[in-house]
Chain A
Amino acid sequence: MQKGRLVIVFVFIFFAVAPPAHAYIDLGTGSFIVQTSLAFIFGAGFIVKSYWHRLISLFKKTSTTSSSETGAVEHEKEKS
């Protein structure tokens, strides 16, 4: 629990001012603090994940290009 409190304090200190939220549903102070903290914590992992996916998609792109070319050839064959 001590660790959780530290994260909350940390987030409070380091994050800058945001525009006020005007919502018709109640966001709730606790929910806001928790989601901001979690976004910060999970953010680092998300950067790694995003770059990893980009890297994977680069390889996939190469193989997709070749497979779609094959598909196009097959389609042409069907037409003829």
Chain B
Amino acid sequence: MKKRNRKEEKSNIVSSSFRDPSGSLFFKEGRLLRSVNISYKEHYDMASGAGLFKSLVRDALLIPHEEVALAAEGNADTYKTLAPEKISFVSYPYEWCFGQFKDAALTTLEIQKRALSFGMVLKDASAFNIQFHNGRPIFIDTLSFERYEEGSPWIAYRQFCQHFLAPLALMSHKDQRLSQLFRIFLDGIPLNLASSLLPLRTYFSPALLGHIHMHARGQEKFSHQKFTPSLRMSLHGMRALIDNIEGAVRRLTIKSAGTEWGDYYGNTNYTEESFGRKKEVVSRFLRRTNSHIVWDLGANMGEFSRIASDMGIQTIALDNDIEAVEKNYGIVVQKKEKNLLPLLCDLTNPSPNVGWDNAERDSLSKRGPADTVLALALVHHLAITNNTPLAMVAAYLRTVCRNLIIEFVPKTDSQVKRLLATRKDIFPNYHEKAFEKEFEKYFTIVAKETVGAARCLYLMIKK
């Protein structure tokens, strides 16, 4: 089970589960459970009885759940308790590439359409309600459905625009890195901000003009006016609105600008033979670890991540190059890979604890530790590009894994020479002996093998 913070241990309620009065997530007997409150009974029974849950679960759009006879302590308001299928790794929108964002948006809209056909509606459209499970986006909030009232608007419209349409439009029309705004704006990117950042040409897209630019103006203009529910929106109007947003999302694309490390595999000093040997050594080391979850730090397009995922190990491929993550995700989708999740992560500034009380969304390390971390061709980037002392690299890595498969790349390597070509060498302690000395403070070196000219691969176990 994942590590929990002190407040969660005390209350058993998941710290991100406090907004929706329909129910909450809690831990009991080592399981993550969802309580359904009596106030939500009507909607739950409708979604369950009418077959909406069954339909969504069948098409892998909603996380499967079973009703269990456990209740949250001290909650007399519980109608049912659900045990949802476990998600192996929770990811957040600011860790997704464009393709993942787009698939998550389309999944949400598909669920909304499906709900409407069952006489129900999505009452929220938070991007945090989507997780990647078995390689595809899946909706995890079983209590997000309510009975559709003829004439009522889509309650989650603003949220969908802020959580999906605005970031996607910004990534598509401005810069992919703008997805990082989500780290600050956890309820989605404010539409007036998105509108001000988007280029003029987006005013010529009827959908973006309406859902972002006019929407932003509308919010500002009517912000001080009391909500007067005197308008009605027909079911046909609702479907037209969803159809239009869906079309807008589908039309959004990104142009590949060529990635910094995108051609890394064809640009190393590895010969085909030593590259194959490196793969063989990593594979052999990995088999010695008995891992269920592996994090590949600096995964690029996932060449080495796939050694783990092909063994049936849940593998998280983290990289700070958004284009590499995009390409990696493209391969996952194309090959229908179920065990690999590419995510955007800058290890020099990994996802922090954010949200209410800094406890709503977990930092990267809090979502660990991984059984095994792969840190291949990574240390020289941290030590030389980011000036991080080897002692700090070792101290950090011991917090995120139990086993470590790590590569040391010496100064004689062409990649390190490239890093040092335009700067002064201020790294007298960057050498193999110092590397081993620092890592042996926290790890036991159980195997060491040379690959390529002078690179070394290590298998280490945390002390």
Contact = CB atoms under 8 A, between A and B. Distances in A.
Interface stretch (A8-16, A59-67, A71-79): A8-16
Interface stretch (B85-93, B147-155, B445-453): B147-155
**Which bracket fits the contact residues of B?**
35 or more
Given A24-B19, A25-B155, A38-B210, A18 B219 contact: no
Interface stretch (B237-245, B249-257, B320-328): B237-245
Given A18-B152, A21-B229, A29-B227, A42 B240 contact: yes
Interface stretch (B59-67, B107-115, B156-164, B454-462): B156-164
Contacts of A49: 243
Contacts of A25: 19, 123-124, 155-156, 159
Contacts of B83: none
Given A29-B228, A46-B240, A36 B233 contact: yes
A18 B235 CA distance: 12
B225 interface: yes
Interface string A24-67: 11111111111111111111011101000000000000000000
Contacts of B260: none
Contacts of A35: 153-154, 157, 215, 233, 241
Contacts of A27: 153, 155, 157-158, 227
A17 interface: yes
A35 B238 CA distance: 9
B223 interface: yes
Contact of B232 (A18, A43, A46): A18
Given A30-B221, A31-B158, A39-B237, A11 B231 contact: yes
Nearest to B229: A20
B219 A41 contact: no
B383 interface: no
Contact of A34 (B123, B159, B210, B237): B210
B215 A21 contact: no
B186 to A, nearest CB: 13
Contacts of B238: 39
A38 B232 contact: no
A17 B244 contact: no
B232 A21 contact: no
A33 B218 CA distance: 7
A12 B12 CA distance: 48
A59 to B, nearest CB: 21
B222 A18 contact: no
A15 B215 CA distance: 19
A32 B227 contact: yes
Nearest to A35: B157
B211 to A, nearest CB: 7
A37 B244 CA distance: 13
B230 interface: yes
B230 A36 contact: no
Contacts of B21: 24
Contacts of A46: 236, 239-240, 243-244
Interface string B290-301: 000000000000
A1 B217 CA distance: 10
A34 to B, nearest CB: 4
Contacts of A43: 234, 236-237, 240
Interface in B1-46: 19-22
Given A11-B231, A23-B155, A35-B157, A29 B226 contact: yes
B223 A30 contact: yes
Contacts of B124: 24-25
A4 B233 contact: no
21 contacts: A4-B214, A15-B230, A18-B153, A27-B155, A27-B157, A28-B223, A29-B226, A30-B223, A31-B157, A31-B215, A32-B231, A35-B154, A35-B157, A35-B233, A36-B232, A40-B237, A41-B210, A42-B240, A46-B240, A46-B244, A47-B236
Interface of A: 1, 4, 8, 11-12, 15-21, 23-43, 45-47, 49
Given A23-B155, A39-B233, 8 more contacts: A16-B232, A18-B152, A19-B152, A25-B156, A30-B223, A32-B231, A34-B219, A46-B243
The 4 A-B residue pairs with the shortest CB-CB distance in the complex, in nearest-first order: A39-B237, A18-B232, A46-B240, A30-B218
Interface of B: 19-22, 123-124, 149, 151-159, 161, 210-211, 214-215, 217-223, 225-234, 236-241, 243-244
